Amino acid sequence: MRVIFVALAAAMFLCVAGNRQQAAAQPFSSTSVELPASARLSDVEIRWQSDGGDGCAKVDGCSHYQIIFRGDGFVELEELPWVPPRPKPAIRRRSIDPSQIVELINELFKARFLEALDGNEGVRVVIRKGDVLTFRSRAGVGAGWVDLTLRIGSMAKTVRLGENPTVELRGVSERIVRMAGPESWVP
């Protein structure tokens, strides 16, 4: 009986070890992050940065945005115009109640941000050219992306939200834009 138990334990160990090696070889895997036991408000930051995608130059031009929320309530919105070239507006800064930052972090945790894949850039496709296969992600036409970063102390996690992020992560991203988007600033 003892021999069977040892054999089963050894087999389970080998299966788990093999699965770990397989998972490590996969691209866009989730980076393991460990939260500190505590952190000061000044050591907390949520950063949202967009990429414009295609097609917006046909309208009134395009801008990338960078939004930074700090745990102490400091908020910064930076517009980075890119097509057509135009002057860069001044960086907008303001303060909000730090409890709103705590709510955002709780929403990120609820959306399982720390467990999310590092990249979500669309459906994977393979392209064949002769005897060579190229693997890529196929984003939608005009699709841009958003890098969402949570930093707490020395722990930092960034997730690229592409064309199809989870509903929960999309909701947090949209809330960040609403909280810090251009329309929320008082002139």
Lowest-confidence pick of 9-13, 112-116, 154-158 = 9-13
With CA atoms as reference, report the closest residue to 182 among 51, 75, 34: 75
Task: Give the pLDDT confidence of 136-170 residue by residue, as tens digits.
Answer: 665 544 456 889 999 999 999 999 888 778 889 99
What is the count of structural domains for the chain? 1
Report whether 50 contacts 78 (CB < 8 A). Answer: no
Residue range of the domain that includes 114: 36-184
Is residue 16 assigned to a domain? no
Is residue 19 assigned to a domain? no
CATH number of the domain bearing residue 111: 3.30.1560
Bigger pLDDT: 21 or 100?
100
The percent of residues in the chain predicted with pLDDT above 90, rounded, is: 39
Distance of CA 7 to the CA centre of its chain: 42
- What does the mean pLDDT of the chain come to? 74
Please report how the helices 98-110 and 167-180 are oriented relative to each other, as an axis angle in degrees rounded to 10: 160
With CA atoms as reference, report the closest residue to 52 among 78, 76, 82: 82
Is residue 1 assigned to a domain? no
Is residue 11 assigned to a domain? no
Q: Is the pLDDT of residue 126 over 50?
A: yes
Q: Is the pLDDT of residue 178 over 80?
A: yes
Report whether 177 contacts 67 (CB < 8 A). Answer: yes
Q: Name 158's bridge partners.
A: 149
Is residue 164 assigned to a domain? yes
Task: Give the pLDDT confidence of 15-64 residue by residue, as tens digits.
Answer: 333 333 333 333 344 556 789 999 999 999 999 998 755 445 555 667 78
Query: Which token pair is 10?
Result: 């050894």
3-state DSSP helix/strand/coil % of the chain, to nearest 5? 35, 35, 35
Is residue 159 assigned to a domain? yes
Task: Give the pLDDT confidence of 53-66 residue by residue, as tens digits.
Answer: 544 555 566 778 89
The neighbour count for residue 162, using CB atoms within 10 Å, is 19
Is residue 14 assigned to a domain? no
Is residue 150 assigned to a domain? yes
> What is residue 50's predicted lDDT score, i.e. its pLDDT?
87
Q: Name 159's bridge partners.
A: 148
Bigger pLDDT: 20 or 172?
172
- Report residue 94: phi and psi, to 5°: -160, 175
